[in-house]
Structure 1
Amino acid sequence: MRSILICDDEPIIRMSLKNKLTELGFDEILECGDGEQAVRMALAKLPDVIILDVSMPKKDGIAAARQIRQSLTVPIILLTACYDADTVARARECGIGGFLAKPFREQDLWPAIELACAHAEAVELLKEQIEDLKEALENRKIVEKAKGILMQKQGLTEPEAFRKMQKLAMDKRKSMRRIAEAILLAEA
């Protein structure tokens, strides 16, 4: 089931979007007319995609997007009649996945959604890779410290210290990091 939230203060635009989104296969189409409502609905319903008008009452689309992006990684598309440099810069800063110009053309809707979803997936993949790299680097630092302790305390060469840690890890069925942490803890 694919769901989408559309938020525009003009009911005619919402209706037009809703009709096209139904044709595109969205099962659940949530709609509202102001930015504050958009934030509440997004956080409560967790839609797969969000389309926000830039100019709305109570909270503009970019401010709503920024607030939504603090909790969700959902792709967000802005629907706007204004493409000034400030609007584009603000949109870029909060991770907007695309723009649809008003009045929107039906043939532009599907590509905008697909590209925004692909962009969101790519960003999430990069974030995961960054976290994996951070963890690998942290593991490496801990292993290097423990290896240094073994070299100093037991007079081992670097390859000998590393092999000793490897053997301990295999014998005890623990990760190299766990073994390194145990060595560091014993030293403390």
Structure 2
Amino acid sequence: MARTALISDTDPGVVLSLSNELYRVGFTEIEVCHDGINAVDKAFGCYPDLVILGLDIPGKNGLAAAVEIRSRLKIPVLLLAERCDAEIVKRAADNGIAAFLTKPLRTQDLAPAIALAVAHTEEVEVLRERIEDLKETIEDQKVIEKAKGKVMELNGLTEAAAYRLLQKTAMDRRKSLRKVADEVLGKGLY
């Protein structure tokens, strides 16, 4: 399976070292650019599996480019820096940046950083999906509870009886309980 990486840094030696190591660990295509604006454009054009950005690249610094890329692509992004302060690390962490690599680059650090970044990014995405599912479930429950209350009020039913009526209607109509609840609230079904 083809794996693509995007590298953006101004140091040709670093780009060459990163490229060689990425090929060694299984990447088959390496896209290269030397500024943040092109990095963002290339990322949105080639949808790489991994992005490595120099923190001090021109046009748009690496952190700004990384934040923009991460906002649309749920892929691991690593930053490469000679130094970084606590504020930059916090901003990077808050925006889903997977790891920092330091210059001078030690190629033996790259494979573990990539492995951790990929695992971390996948884990975060699974958690985000779960959160979205839970939000949807909570919203469904709120709507169902409102519909149940309306059915209780209109028909003089107990809570349990109103819920059973909603469930039976959903089964009879082969619709979800949420859709029946929406109908009750929107059309005054009962």
- Common topology (TM > 0.5): yes
Q: CA deviation at 1:179?
A: 1.0
Mapped to 1, the partners of 2:81 and 2:185 lie a distance apart of: 57
Displacement after TM superposition at 1:186 (Å): 2.6
Q: By how many angstroms is 1:86 displaced?
A: 2.4
- Cα separation, 2, equivalents of 1:186 and 1:73: 40
Q: Which residue of 2 aligns with 1:116?
A: 117
Q: Which residue of 2 aligns with 1:56?
A: 57
Instruction: Write the deviation string for residues 28-84 of structure 1: whole angstroms up to 9, x where unpaired.
Output: 111111111111111111100000111112221101111212221111001111022
Equivalence for 2:44:
43
Q: Could you tell me how far apart the structure 2 residues matched to 1:120 and 1:64 are?
A: 17
Q: Name the structure 2 match of 1:23.
A: 24
**Ranges of 4+ aligned residues in structure 1 off by more than 4 Å:** none
Residue 13 (1) aligns with residue 17 (2)? no
**Secondary structure at the residue paired with 1:47?**
coil
The 5 Å alignment of 1:16-165 reads 16-165=17-166
How many Å separate the matches in 2 of 1:144 and 1:160? 13
The alignment partner of 2:59 has SS state of coil
Separation in structure 1 between the aligned mates of residue 143 and residue 176 of structure 2, nearest angstrom: 12
How far apart in 2 are the matches of 1:67 and 1:185?
A: 40
Write the distance in 2 (CA, Å) between the matches of 1:2 and 1:103: 25
Structure 1 gap ranges (5+): none
CA displacement, residues 120-166 of structure 1 (integer Å, 9 cap, x when unaligned): 11111111111111111111111111111111111111111111111
CA RMSD of the aligned region, Å? 1.3
Instruction: Give secondary structure in 2 for the equivalent of 1:70.
Output: helix
1:179 maps to 180
Q: Tell me, what secondary structure is at the counterpart of 2:124?
A: helix
TM-score, length basis structure 1: 0.95
Amino acid in structure 2 at the alignment position of 1:185? G
Counterpart residue type for residue 60 of structure 1: N
Q: Which runs of 5+ in 2 are unaligned?
A: none
Q: Aligned-pair distance for 1:181?
A: 1.2
Q: Distance in 1 between matches of 2:62 and 2:70?
A: 12
AA matched with 1:30: E
Name the TM-score, length of structure 2 as normaliser: 0.94
CA distance in 1, matches of 2:92, 2:137: 33
* Whole-angstrom distance in 1 between the partners of 2:84 and 2:12: 22
